[in-house]
Amino acid sequence: MAVNDSVNILNSAYLAVEYIDSFLPDNPLQQPFKNAWNYMLDNYTKFQIATWGSLIVHEVSYFLLCVPGFVFQFIPYMQKYKIQQDKPETWEKQWKCFKTLLFNHFFIQLPLICGTYYFTEYFNIPYEWEEMPRWYVLVAQCFGCAVIEDAWHYFLHRLLHHKRIYKYIHKVHHEFVSPFGMQAEYAHPLETLILGTGFFIGIVVFCNHVVLLWAWVICRLMETIDVHSGYDVPLNPLHLVPFYAGARFHDFHHMNFIGNYASTFTWWDRIFGTDSQFIAYQEKEKKKQFITKK
């Protein structure tokens, strides 16, 4: 009975969104995107699309999303939004981070990406434009992937902080006490595999078109680069996502090496009380600001 009620609620929600969507103006980018997608299908094999297409989407998205945070360090006005203002970025750290990223991307992540084609073939995942889900379905699927990945990340990330394991694997990621966007995937190869597994679980659960792979890659990169940016910028659209943790939440984790273990949302840390030090820190900062204003 409960299952039927849940299905009815989901169907009703789907119909409601579909009804609202019918009143929205046509997306002017839809036709160019459709033409580009069909051109890709006509000129490249599924293996090329799934493998090299996925690599290109990842690399272009990653470094483009890093650009704002990289540029902020040269803009004096933006320094008031930097969370750890006493720890500026250095060229030495950024260059070291960049070299490690290239190794991880091409020697750890690329072999995993090569399995994308076989995944889509095994599960009969379509590539055709006509099979592509509507935008609101894609948004819901990405949110579902984020919820699953967040749960995986919380428990495995917390495990990597265990005193018997930390110095062998996760310590690499914590090399930079004050994080910056490009550092999001700076990690030990084993950590890339362990925490990266959470990325694929949602894909296995929700994937009904190859476009979800790329949409979820972009969403996940957007989130992880934002929380590692080191800047708490006002009017950040990601803050509209319910229970979104954000840069200040994760920055505290890098400052203190404890607590705030979740990747995207705050609920797991709230449930297990691993955000208690962060909450106490926030209260302390609010009192400081109140006294300063007086």
Contact 85, 79 (CB under 8 A): yes
Q: What is the pTM of this model?
A: 0.90
**Mean pLDDT over residues 92-101, rounded?**
94
The mean pLDDT value of the chain amounts to 90
- Which residues contact residue 51 at a Cβ distance below 8 angstroms, ignoring those fewer than 6 apart? 113, 114, 116, 117
- pLDDT, tens only, 261-276: 999 999 999 999 999 9
In the predicted model, is pLDDT for residue 249 greater than 50? yes
Q: Which two tokens stand for residue 163?
A: 């005193």
23 band by pLDDT with thresholds 50, 70 and 90: low
- pLDDT, tens only, 39-64: 999 999 999 999 999 999 999 999 99
Q: Single out the residue of 129, 173, 150 nearest to residue 270, CA to CA.
A: 150
In the predicted model, is pLDDT for residue 252 greater than 70? yes
Burial string for 50-87 (b: 16+ CB within 10 Å, else e) reads bbebbbebbbebbbebbeebeebbeeeeeeebbbeeeb
In the chain, what percentage of residues exceed pLDDT 70? 89
- Higher pLDDT: 34 or 18? It is 34
- The predicted pLDDT at position 27 comes to 73
**Mean pLDDT over residues 136-149, rounded?**
95
In the predicted model, is pLDDT for residue 197 greater than 80? yes
In the predicted model, is pLDDT for residue 215 greater than 50? yes
- Higher pLDDT: 167 or 2? It is 167
- The predicted pLDDT at position 269 comes to 97
Q: Which two tokens stand for residue 144?
A: 């579902």
* Domain boundaries along the sequence of the chain: 49-293
Alpha carbon distance 139, 135 (integer Å): 6
7 band by pLDDT with thresholds 50, 70 and 90: very low
